[in-house]
Structure 1
Amino acid sequence: MTKHRIYTMSFASVYPLLIAKAEKKGRTKSEVDEIIRWLTGYTQDEIEEQLIKQTDYETFFNEAPFLNPARKLIKGVVCGVRVEDIEEPTMQEIRYLDKLIDELAKGKSMDKILREQ
């Protein structure tokens, strides 16, 4: 079976799109970075390293140091698909990030985005 095209895209090519989406709605790069760190467990230096290495998106998620268990609380629709119903694990992680950036762009507070109790 052929891999979805997004798996082979570099994280470095997607990252500016995530930032642009947030900034277009008045949010910041640092908030996008905070979301990525929360979701994946990467430090800021490790994120920068992944960008320099041109790591593909699949590897970026598969090698994430610590996928936050609270990510399972992320619910909703991205690209017409409910994130909680996605069966393929890597695609679900990608869509979790998409959903969090959507929430950021819609003005949700960081404590709600990061599922803080």
Structure 2
Amino acid sequence: MSNSTEGMKSNLTEAGGHMRQAAVDTGDALRNAAVAAADELRLGKANVKADLADGALAGIGAAEHAGGAAREQMDALMDKGRDLIDSASELIRERPLASFGVAFAAGWIIAKLARGGDR
């Protein structure tokens, strides 16, 4: 064999060795990237769970406050209703004939309107 052939074989062998090492390095890089990606996914998943839990707690707090606000509004409406009933009772006691007349007229108008809708 000539020097050129030996040189070519030597260079091809060296190139093959570098190609094998490049393949090993590529595999290592991919494994490391997969491990890093998995770690990032676990961290991201934990962060998402924490954010969702915080959101749920805030929602529960808002619901509790909404219940309290609804009770306050209901109490205010009940107080106004009681005040109206008290005012009506006082008016009936002070002017029973006028109250009866107003109630009779209101009943007559409602009956007239109800009969007018039947035609």
**TM-score (norm. length: structure 1):** 0.22
Higher relative contact order (CA 8 A, sep 6+): 1
More helix by share: 2
**TM-score (norm. length: structure 2):** 0.22
Structure number with bigger Rg = 2
